[in-house]
Chains A and B, each alone.
Chain A
Amino acid sequence: MLQRRGWLGGPKPPKNPHSLEHLKYLHHVLMKNQTVTESNKSLIVEALRSMAEILIWGDQNDSSVFEFYLEKNMFLFFLNILEQNSGNYVCVQLLQTLNILFENLQHETSLYYLLSNNHINEVICHKFDFSDEEVMAYYISFLKTLSLRLNQHTIHFFYNEHTDDFALYTEAIKFFNHPESMVRIAVRTLTLNVYNVNDRAMLRFIRDKTAAPYFSNLVWFIAEHVREVDNCVRNNANHQHRDRLRDLVAEHLDHLHYLNDIVTLENEMLNEVLIHHLLHRLFLPLYVRSLADGSPGDDNVYYHLILDILLKDYFSIFYNVLRYHLFLNNKCFLGQYQYIYTFIMFTMDTLLVISKDYEYSCRQVTIQCCNKTINSPHLPFLDTIYSALNCTGSDYSALFALCFLYAILHNKGLLCLTHLIENCSKIKYNHGIVTYRFVCILWCSVSTRILKKRTGNYQRKHGNLFHLTPKKCTLLNKANSAQNTLNKLILIHRDKHSFKEDIGKEEGSESYCHWLIERLLRIISKSVMSESKVRLATLRLTSILLKKVGVRDTDCVLLEEHLSSIEVNIFSILAEAMQNLQKYLKEEEMFLDIFEDEYRTLQPLNVEYLMMDSSLLLPPTVTPLTGIEFSKRLPCGQSEQARQLIGIFFTLRDLSLFLCKESETQLPLTREQDCIQTNDKLDLNNSDLIACTVSSKESKQRRFLVVELYQLILVEPDSKRLGWGVVKFAGFLQVLTRIDSRTLHVIIHKPSGLRRVPILAANFIFDDHIRCMAAKQRLTKGRMRARHLKTGRIAVLLGV
């Protein structure tokens, strides 16, 4: 194209576009066309494009190119073009050229050339026409590309310590709430890339100049978003706006992920500010309080889910929040601790209920005390969970409660909590008296709880150890410095002898919480009742929790009575399933198919995905017309009820086997190892063999057809042993499709859940009609026999 434009005068473009001469030529073109007009627009755009190419080439092949670029200060052309406000067409190309340059330059020196003289910041600050979505997209990509090149060396080209200027960052965050999602994502990427550069001065700038407004805006928007989710759920009882709800929840998760990404960069300076906002504007007022106020059926019950999501992946955020709050920020008032305290207590209690392991890690912390400043902790959170698990009416809130327990059990963030509690001992007076006292109280309460839990009997014997005695009160009140308090607490603790030893003796008597097990079992027995309102997902999650709570170090720690209760439940399920089996006798064929299909598609429940599913927020439904997966709704119609029962059966059977430490021997009905595989060698003396030609798209081969227990097999004679055959194909017996005089049309599918993939599609051509009919009969009968066998095995399994 450039060649054609030689008429503009001056030297002709060199033949080789990848040469210093070419850049010189471009320089000439731009010199001649310093003012952008309608007529030379295309020429300039073309020159800008070529510029990107030649500079990249130079970077990789010939250093003289960049030297020339620098010598002529060619970046000025870019700025000159920008200043003329020459229209979006030219601006877009300019940005694209810069994108290409910053994306592809390999040599650091080339990069420094481009970044020098502060020109780049002029481009960043230029007021482009952001109403044009194309300009916006290219501009934000430009900023993002730049942010990907940030490191401790390049940061100084962008952040100017003397003028306290960091245009790349400050310009970008102006778009953090842009209506276009890709722009928002780019801004988030950029911020993360910036926070990831470990430059103290820059980070200080961000904290002092931008963190407060940016983070508070961010948190404010997230909180607004949560309210929107709430509204959407409330106005959505009939599932009309499921797509919108799904988008909202996904967006909310994005936000939480973003916060998590920032927090996990472990940038203390920024985290301190971020966490302050998070705690006071989001976690406490929205999430935590909703748990405290919301009993099942209440309006704000949906927050459970939000909290679940939060807990599963973001416990670490929360506890990081607390950690920073306690250790870095001493400007807190006691009142603000109320919720934190209650929440920690809540978590502690939940943990003590569900996990014994956790106690071990907290053991060292044991010190007893009373709780004077904060009133004896009422535990609204735990109450909420308790009543949700009762599963009255629907299993709506029970499922959340289960998710919640699961989340607490699986959250790595809990290490933070342990850490937090352990660190309490390191808190010094100079962290502020309020913080210090809070920590003392926290620490003591935690210990008390552990002790209470572990030493139910012990406590009865030495009751006053855990209660406030006047002596202790006096000591506490008199303590002038907090350090003293701590010492005195330890003294009290020592006074009361080494109760740790006693605890040791008590160990093992009660290793799990009756209360929780009983409730879980209740959910299970509810699930088998007719007209049950328990969804499959709820049951499966219950089973997971039961496994987790009931078994430690591969030993079943459930009491005999509970174990037998589970067995009883399984028996009643069997009875229920048997009845249904009878109902389905007429359509027996379908029952077998459903049974096998359910088993094949059975996959471990992914609780994380489950928790992220927005449809759980809506009241449980029956109808598949909503598009909700089977396991997350109730069965609709007879066939689905059969499916449901089969699903329950598998879950409970698995649970029972797990608890008894037995392995599955009966399922699947046809096991891989019982089947004949390709290349097996079979002794076919005395077998019925029918010769045929197997003709498929690819080939035509002479084979012998054999019908085995469950399988259709094609063999070719073994050349080494007479009467033996080598298996060339083996597939399960299936319904035959078509028959013409001496040809059978056979399509064999791989038995797989979702997509049926044919593994063989061929015509079996026999010598004559009689043999063809014989083969057909053998295949059909074989299939019937196989089905009969399998149905028999189901009957055995069900105890019919």
Chain B
Amino acid sequence: MSYAYLFKYIIIGDTGVGKSCLLLQFTDKRFQPVHDLTIGVEFGARMITIDGRQIKLQIWDTAGQESFRSITRSYYRGAAGALLVYDITRRDTFNHLTTWLEDARQHSSSNMVIMLIGNKSDLEARREVKKEEGEAFAREHGLIFMETSAKTAANVEEAFINTAKEIYEKIQEGVFDINNEANGIKLGPQHSPASGGAGGNRPRQSSDGGGCC
């Protein structure tokens, strides 16, 4: 299937914050976890539309590889976007954000778009981290922020798509060198030069559940 751009994302954050569930929820919406069934996956791809153009997102979860330093640092470098996830019901996952961010900034290209995500927003009763705290952290570090729930799918689409929009805008502004694949951006097979500026059309969201194509 042809696309204008391919963006590579990574998902980072402490274990158990729901990274792989977010990923599956976005790439394959059919897995709406009911009956306390939590399912996640480490890789997924999905096509979205921004500004009338087909954009493919490839999302790589880095879970389970933390013990190997070589692996984490390479992942950062190959990505155009990163979702930095914490769990709003676990304060410690929020406290570790600084370390994650430091790592990300150190190893990634300076243009990488980082979105901060407070996951499990459905568990309001067990909330330990206020939304304002997340917002403040994001503001202080220049990140985009959103609270999501992989369980109810709230904001999941938006999280991934807004990140893509940001990357797309950066491309339009000429900030990303799109010919350098090390930036985590790839030109589509039949790519024609960008037409017009950013903005305008809202992304069309695929209504058939997306899936893997």
Contact = CB atoms under 8 A, between A and B. Distances in A.
The secondary-structure label for the interface of chain A is: helix
B70 A89 contact: no
A148 B68 CA distance: 13
Nearest to B24: A100
A134 B186 CA distance: 13
Interface stretch (B125-133, B177-185, B193-201): B177-185
A185 B58 CA distance: 15
A138 B182 CA distance: 20
Given A53-B31, A253-B73, A609 B106 contact: yes
B42 A261 contact: no
Given A96-B41, A181-B182, A188-B71, A138 B35 contact: no
Contacts of A184: 74
B40 interface: yes
A182 B71 contact: no
A49 B44 CA distance: 14
Contacts of A181: 74, 77-78, 181-182
Contacts of A755: 140, 142
A141 B74 CA distance: 16
Contact of A257 (B24, B38, B69, B181): B69
Contacts of A53: 30-31, 37, 39
B212 to A, nearest CB: 5
Interface string B156-198: 0000000000000000000001001110000000000000000
A134 B37 contact: no
Interface in A122-181: 134, 137-138, 141, 144-145, 148, 181
A243 B69 contact: no
A253 B71 CA distance: 11
Nearest to B79: A182
A93 interface: yes
Interface in B38-87: 38-45, 58, 60, 64-65, 68-71, 73-75, 77-78
B28 interface: yes
Chain B, interface size category, equals: 35 or more
A387 interface: no
A121 interface: no
A254 B177 CA distance: 21
A160 B151 CA distance: 41
A400 B84 CA distance: 35
A247 interface: yes
A395 B24 CA distance: 52
Interface in A95-137: 96, 99-100, 103-104, 134, 137
Chain A, interface size category, equals: 35 or more
A556 interface: no
B42 A141 contact: yes
A296 B121 CA distance: 59
B148 interface: no
Contacts of B60: 141, 182
A250 B71 contact: no
B197 to A, nearest CB: 25
A465 interface: no
A741 interface: no
A92 interface: yes
B45 A134 contact: yes
Contacts of A251: 182
A184 B71 CA distance: 10
Interface string B137-152: 0001010000000000
A588 B28 CA distance: 62
Interface string A252-275: 011001101100000000000000
18 contacts: A52-B39, A96-B44, A103-B41, A103-B42, A104-B41, A134-B213, A182-B8, A182-B75, A185-B78, A192-B70, A250-B77, A257-B69, A257-B70, A261-B70, A261-B71, A609-B106, A755-B142, A757-B140
Interface of B: 8, 20, 24, 28, 30-31, 34-35, 37-45, 58, 60, 64-65, 68-71, 73-75, 77-78, 106-107, 140, 142, 177, 180-182, 211-213
Given A49-B28, A138-B212, 17 more contacts: A18-B34, A96-B41, A99-B43, A100-B24, A100-B39, A100-B41, A104-B40, A134-B45, A137-B45, A137-B58, A138-B43, A182-B75, A182-B78, A188-B70, A189-B71, A247-B182, A254-B77
Q: Which 5 residue pairs are nearest across A and B when measured between Cβ atoms? A: A257-B70, A141-B43, A258-B70, A181-B78, A247-B182
